[in-house]
Amino acid sequence: MVLKRLPQHVAIIMDGNGRWAKKRGLPRVAGHKEGLESVRAVVREARRLGIKVLTLYAFSKENWKRPRAEVAALMGLLRFYLKRELPELKRQGIKLMAIGETELLPPKAYQALSQAIEETSSAREMILNLALSYGGRAEIARAARILAEACLKGHLRPDEIDENIFANYLYTAGLPDPDLIIRTSGEMRLSNFLLYQSAYSELYITPTLWPDFREAEFMAALEEYSQRERRFGLTSEQIRCTGKE
C-alpha cells in the first residue's frame, strides 16, 4: 500500500485491554500482556514506514486509582517491555522519551525507564514517546506554573507569553504536534490526552480493542488519514491560497 501522505507524529490512546480479557474470561492483566504485542507491532511498523514520532498513552494519572494489584502488574509489564525491547530499539535507531509525572513511578520501573532513555538518547531514526503518569490538564497547569515563576523572577514578561512560548514549557517541547490521534475500543473521547497539542489533530476512532490492533489496523488508520484534507481552521480557498495541506 502506498500512502498519499504520511503523518509526522502519530499518537495512540491504547484502550480496551480489560474488555479484551473479559470477553475471553481472563484476568485484566492478560489483556495488558497481549497489548504489549500490539505495542511491539505498531512500533515496528511506524519505524518501517518512516513515521518520526509515535506517542503511546501508556498510563494516565487517573490509572493510579485502579486496584493496587493491577497497578503493580502494569508497572511490572512496563519493566518487562523495556528490558525486552531495549536491544531492538537500539538496533532500529529509536529514541525513547517519556512525558508525564514519571517521578511517581515505583523505583524499579523508574530506573528501567531512565536506563532505556539514556541508552537510546543518541538514536535519530524515530522517537517512541511514552505517556506515563500523564494527564493533559496537569501538563497545562505545570506549564502555567513554570511560566508564572519565570515572570515573578523577572525572566519573562506576561505580555511576551504567546502560544509558541507556552508550548515550550509543555512536556512535548521540541516535538511536532500530533498529526493523527488514534483511539482504539470505540470510545469517542480524548481522555485528558495531549489536550493542548491536539488542537488540529485528525482523529481516528476504531472499535478494535487494543490487543487486536496490529499492523493491518494501523495501516487502515494511516490510509484514512492520507485521504483527508487537513484544514487547520481554514476554508478550502484559504488552504489553496496558503499552500497548506
- 20 annotated ligand-binding residue: yes
Q: β-strands 53-60, 202-205: how paired? A: unpaired
- 16 annotated ligand-binding residue: yes
- 162 annotated ligand-binding residue: no
- 230 annotated ligand-binding residue: no
The active-site residue out of 63, 177, 192, 212 is: 63
- 183 annotated ligand-binding residue: yes
- 91 annotated ligand-binding residue: no
- 5 annotated ligand-binding residue: no
- 38 annotated ligand-binding residue: no
- 17 annotated ligand-binding residue: yes
- 228 annotated ligand-binding residue: no
Are 210 and 33 in contact, with CB atoms under 8 Å apart? no
To the query of whether residue 162 is one of the catalytic residues in this protein, the response is no
Report the distance separating Cα 87 and Cα 85, nearest Å. Answer: 6
- 190 annotated ligand-binding residue: yes
- 15 annotated ligand-binding residue: yes
For the chain, the DSSP string reads ---S---SEEEEE---HHHHHHHTT--HHHHHHHHHHHHHHHHHHHHHHT-SEEEEEEEEGGGGGS-HHHHHHHHHHHHHHHHHHHHHHHHHTEEEEEES-GGGS-HHHHHHHHHHHHHTTT--SEEEEEEEEE-HHHHHHHHHHHHHHHHHTTSS-GGG--HHHHHTTSTTTTSPPPSEEEE-TT--S--SSSTTTTTT-EEEE-SS-GGG--HHHHHHHHHHHHHS---TT--HHHHHHHT--
To the query of whether residue 15 is one of the catalytic residues in this protein, the response is yes
Q: What angle do CA 102, 106, 108 make, to 5 degrees?
A: 105
- 64 annotated ligand-binding residue: yes
Indicate the annotated binding residues. 15-20, 28, 32, 60-62, 64, 66, 183, 189-191, 202
Indicate the annotated binding residues for substrate. 16-20, 28, 32, 60-62, 64, 66, 183, 189-191
Indicate the annotated binding residues for Mg(2+). 15, 202
Q: What is the set of active-site residues?
A: 15, 63
